[in-house]
């Protein structure tokens, strides 16, 4: 058993002010400083210009936030690793359930997020950028978001679609010039009020990372959006459709995407089928049911503790989209307890320590089926 420190914070102001505040916070945490700095000369002037223009168009305000952070820690914007896009995120499990399948008649989303406990932010925050929708969610490299819900009732979460894309060795190289998932998710949360607006934005965005996104809003709509090497596909559900839930793990699910990437890791297929079998028998679910589902142990469940293999459960989350509320259990361990956050509650800024149980898979983790 190991320990991890969770950080809870609230960010308010202009993008530049938020970035500067993050930089001052990071000065007290040397690991955050090292995480964000990369070597000078990482980018050509032409590439730097393209990235800056892309962020301005699809993630307005992000360049200003990065500038504020860079000035606070005494570096330049383009010497920050956020631009290098070398972060590895191989796995998650996601499930969105519409009101007909829940006891309280609410839209619910359950999510497990897996990664390495030594490279994870372990941060959750409320962000209120002036002129944008406020949102609460988990941070990725401080500036990005891995999932979240905004004040309008739009929830967004992701799983990787196949092997993670990035510039690191052993990662799939990007097929197009575009955005990483953490920039996409934050942009959706800050600029879209519902599933319709989010899908319109996604169809317009250049997205380099191969992702499955699940979107849900409090009106009772949900969508699975998948993109692979620039190709995009969508499945939508609402109160009128036969299907009342959507789920995703770490491979392609929609026919248009399966056609170009039919392979999948065995553990991803196993988790996908587990959720499907569970939901096909489910009736009138409660948040307690979803929490038990998330904390159940692989292969007869979704929780994994393979942190050294970059697939340990960092956090389990149950979103009540209707209420704008999220319950979080860190480390996928029930003994760590569930903590609740919402727009109606103060964030209680601070940090605390949780247990992390490190294990190793007893099978070939990379086996494809």
Locate tokens 């090497």: which residue? 229
pLDDT-derived band at 40, boundaries 50, 70, 90: very low
pLDDT in tens, 114-136: 998 988 889 999 999 999 999 99
Same domain, 182 and 262: yes
**Distance in angstroms (rounded) separating the CA atoms of residues 222 and 6:** 30
- CB of 217 closer than 8 Å to CB of 211: no
Residue 233 lies in a domain: yes
Residue 236 lies in a domain: yes
| Kind of pairing between the strands at 108-115 and 311-320 | antiparallel
* Closest residue by Cα to residue 163 from 247, 228, 81: 228
- CB of 279 closer than 8 Å to CB of 271: no
Strand partners, 352: 6
Same domain, 69 and 184: no
Residue 4 lies in a domain: no
CATH (domain of 308): 3.60.60.10
Rounded to an integer, the average pLDDT of 47-54 is 80
Terminal CA-CA length for the chain: 32
Same domain, 248 and 171: yes
Q: What pLDDT is stored for residue 63 in this prediction? A: 87
- CB of 89 closer than 8 Å to CB of 140: yes
The number of domains in the chain is: 2
pLDDT in tens, 319-341: 999 999 999 999 999 999 999 99
Same domain, 242 and 350: yes
Tell me the pTM.
0.89
Domain boundary residue, one of 39, 55, 84: 84
Percent of the chain with pLDDT over 70: 89
Q: What pLDDT is stored for residue 34 in this prediction? A: 53
| Kind of pairing between the strands at 2-13 and 123-129 | parallel
pLDDT in tens, 179-201: 889 999 999 999 999 999 999 99
Domain of 44, in residue numbers = 13-84
- Report which of residues 146 and 45 the model is more confident about: 146
Same domain, 114 and 156: yes
Q: What pLDDT is stored for residue 80 in this prediction? A: 65
- CB of 269 closer than 8 Å to CB of 251: yes
Same domain, 142 and 280: yes
pLDDT in tens, 72-93: 888 776 666 565 553 445 579 9
- CB of 48 closer than 8 Å to CB of 78: yes
Residue 31 lies in a domain: yes
Reading phi first (left if > 0) and then psi (alpha if -120 to 50, else beta), residue 142 is in: left
């Amino acid at each position: 058993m190991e320990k991890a420190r969770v950080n809870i914070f609230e960010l308010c102001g202009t993008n530049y002010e938020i970035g500067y505040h993050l930089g001052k916070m990071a000065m007290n945490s040397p690991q955050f400083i090292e995480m964000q700095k990369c070597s000078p000369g990482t980018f050509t002037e032409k590439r730097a210009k393209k990235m800056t223009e892309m962020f301005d168009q699809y993630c307005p305000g992000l360049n200003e936030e990065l500038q504020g952070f860079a000035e606070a820690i005494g570096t330049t914007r383009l010497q920050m690793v956020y631009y290098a896009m070398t972060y590895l995120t191989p796995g998650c499990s996601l499930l969105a359930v519409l009101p007909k399948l829940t006891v309280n008649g609410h839209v619910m989303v359950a999510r497990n997020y897996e990664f390495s406990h030594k490279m994870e932010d372990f941060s959750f925050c409320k962000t209120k950028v002036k002129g944008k929708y406020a949102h609460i969610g988990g941070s990725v490299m401080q500036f990005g978001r891995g999932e979240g819900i905004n004040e309008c009732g739009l929830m967004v979460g992701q799983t990787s679609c196949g092997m993670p894309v990035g510039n690191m060795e052993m990662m799939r190289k990007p097929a197009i010039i575009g955005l990483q998932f953490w920039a996409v998710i934050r942009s959706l949360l800050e600029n879209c009020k519902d599933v319709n607006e989010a899908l319109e934005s996604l169809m317009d965005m250049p997205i380099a990372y191969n992702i499955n996104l699940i979107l849900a809003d409090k009106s009772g709509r949900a969508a699975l959006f998948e993109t692979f090497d620039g190709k995009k596909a969508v499945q939508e559900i609402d109160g009128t459709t036969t299907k009342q839930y959507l789920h995703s793990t770490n491979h392609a699910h929609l026919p248009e995407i399966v056609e170009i990437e039919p392979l999948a890791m065995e553990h991803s297929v196993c988790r996908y089928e587990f959720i499907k079998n569970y939901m096909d028998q489910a009736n009138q679910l409660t948040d307690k049911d979803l929490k038990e589902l998330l904390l159940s142990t692989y292969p007869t469940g979704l929780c994994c503790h393979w942190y050294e293999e970059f697939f340990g459960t960092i956090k389990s989350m149950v979103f009540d989209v209707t209420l704008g509320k999220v319950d979080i259990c860190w480390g996928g361990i029930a003994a760590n307890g569930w903590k609740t956050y919402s727009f109606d509650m103060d964030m209680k800024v601070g940090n605390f320590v949780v247990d992390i149980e490190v294990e190793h898979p007893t099978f070939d983790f990379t086996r494809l089926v």
